[in-house]
Chain A
Amino acid sequence: MIRVALPAHLRTLARVSGEVQIDVPGRVSQRTVLDALEASYPMLRGTIRGHVTKERRAFVRFFACGEDLSHALPDTPLPEAVATGDEPFVVLGAMAGG
């Protein structure tokens, strides 16, 4: 299972507490993780990436294993530790004030 850590506002929206765990068949990438996340929690559609473009929203960031993966291509494999469930894929709001 893939662990995904969501920011507080999206945990509230998805009505979950703590990390969520999702099954991602096949290659583990940003795209496949987010596809599986949105399939399990449809209320998150449009909040992390665009409905149609599937591009990351400007003020959303993706971290994993201490690295900022926000600018990686969406089909790039995520680190092995994320694929094995040892580390979470972290979605967070950018430190952009407000």
Chain B
Amino acid sequence: MRGVRILVGTRKGAFVLASDGKRKRWKVSEPLFAGWEVYHLKGSPADPNRLYASQSTSWFGQLIQRSNDGGRSWEPVGNEFAYDGVPGTHQWYDGTPHPWEFARVWHLEPSLTDPDALYAGVEDAALFRSLDGGKTWQELPGLRGHGTGASWQPGAGGLCLHTILVDPSDARRIFVAISAAGAFRSEDAGKSWQPINRGLRSEQIPNPTAEVGHCVHRIAMHRSRPKVLFMQKHWDVMRSDDGGDSWREVSGNLPSDFGFPIEVHTHEPDTIYVVPIKSDSEHFPPEGKLRVYRSRTGGNEWEPLTKGLPQRNCYVNVLRDAAAVDSLDPCGVYFGTTGGQVYASADAGDSWAAIAKNLPPVLSVEVQTLP
């Protein structure tokens, strides 16, 4: 029987939650990398036993861990993330120039076809690539160097590159998102880049429709339709039907269009999920009710999904990398909270169960559907 493995990164270590294909009973592992922040773990689509993890603390810096046996054992690989050439400056919070400084890896994106190839999105925002299983890392400097980099400013969480999407139909096409710079696209495997923020509107910046400066929280795509992108922005849920050339708002009837993650159903390209959060300062669900909202129409028309989720006195947040879907049928949907809960739905969101309740604050959730 097929199985599911959930890779959970938290403020104080990582956890692996495992179940068979029924997704009813879950086994929670002991903490991995206990005491360290694990911003992200992800498995290789080409080899489910190959996992990568980003492990860091402010004391001892960044480590990248690699497993070749599905997470039973790990080995540290390369942790040197050196910006290409003279790093230059971006804008600091007060608008003054600030030297680019590596802080941590936010997101790891393994290649769809090569277990030894992966991208890393880092803070201060840059894109790195490894072609040797994480032993060595090289920056793809065309992103920071394309022209607007010096004007990028950090969001509240830092100047982080947190989203990396590779077009399954053409691996040369890559989308990334940076808080608070916006979305960018490369058509040549990361050599050159262009901002793709037309249609975004952010009242928190001097020119609300500027080419860059938007706080994009997350972008998602369905692998069968890579030119259709869905975005959860600081405020607003957005959609593009032309690979990011233009965006339109699809927030519709959401109770709040602020939030962090956005996900697409594995088998229904127009079914998408968001978790509305009250506001940019009140990072908890509106009315204390934890609700996932699902649209079956690619946006605009949303329905609350509440069965099994706390509907009173709930004041957790769901961070941008803390939601994922499996590829079983019905589609499984998963998310983790800053309160340490991991919720799972085995019926595409109709009902939910807490499969872990007392973990450290959850930073990321990824799912592997195992053969």
Q: Identify the A interface with B (CB < 8 A).
A: 7, 9-10, 13, 43, 45-48, 51-52, 57-60, 93-94, 96, 98
Q: Given that A9-B35, A9-B36, A13-B63 are contacting pairs, would A46 and B58 also be in contact in the complex, using a CB cutoff of 8 Å?
A: no
A42–B64 Cα gap in the complex (Å)?
A: 13
A43–B79 Cα gap in the complex (Å)?
A: 9
Contact A43 B76 (CB under 8 A): yes
Q: Mark B59-83, 1 if CB is under 8 A from A, else 0.
A: 1111100000000000010011010
Q: How many pairs of A and B residues are in contact by the CB < 8 Å rule?
A: 45
Nearest CB on A from B134, distance (A):
13
A58–B80 Cα gap in the complex (Å)?
A: 17
Nearest CB on B from A43, distance (A):
4
Q: Given that A9-B57, A51-B80, A52-B82 are contacting pairs, would A46 and B36 also be in contact in the complex, using a CB cutoff of 8 Å?
A: no
Q: Mark B39-68, 1 if CB is under 8 A from A, else 0.
A: 000000000000000000111111100000
Smallest CB-CB A-B distances: 5 pairs:
A93-B59, A47-B60, A59-B59, A43-B76, A51-B80
Nearest CB on B from A90, distance (A):
14
Using Cβ atoms and an 8 Å threshold, which residues of chain B touch A94? 59
Looking across the interface, which residue of chain A has its beta carbon closest to that of B37? A98
Using Cβ atoms and an 8 Å threshold, which residues of chain B touch A13? 60, 63, 76
Using Cβ atoms and an 8 Å threshold, which residues of chain A touch B80? 45-46, 51-52
Contact residues of A: prevailing secondary structure: loop
Q: Mark B122-144, 1 if CB is under 8 A from A, else 0.
A: 00000000000000000000000
With beta carbons under 8 angstroms apart, the residue of B35, B59, B61 that contacts A46 is: B61
Looking across the interface, which residue of chain B has its beta carbon closest to that of A42? B76
Using Cβ atoms and an 8 Å threshold, which residues of chain A touch B57? 9, 98
Contact A46 B82 (CB under 8 A): no
Nearest CB on A from B67, distance (A):
15
Looking across the interface, which residue of chain B has its beta carbon closest to that of A58? B58
Contact B58 A96 (CB under 8 A): yes
Using Cβ atoms and an 8 Å threshold, which residues of chain A touch B35? 9
A46–B80 Cα gap in the complex (Å)?
A: 7
Which of A7, A13, A46 has the most B CB atoms < 10 Å from its CB? A46
Contact A93 B60 (CB under 8 A): yes
Nearest CB on B from A51, distance (A):
5
Which of B36, B59, B63 has the most A CB atoms < 10 Å from its CB? B59
Contact A98 B58 (CB under 8 A): yes
Q: Given contact pairs A46-B61, A52-B80, A52-B82, enumerate 7 new A-B contacts (beta carbons under 8 Å).
A: A10-B60, A13-B60, A45-B80, A46-B63, A47-B63, A57-B60, A96-B59
Using Cβ atoms and an 8 Å threshold, which residues of chain A touch B82? 51-52
Q: List 11 A-B contacts (CB under 8 A).
A: A10-B60, A13-B63, A43-B76, A46-B79, A52-B82, A57-B59, A57-B61, A59-B58, A60-B59, A94-B59, A96-B58
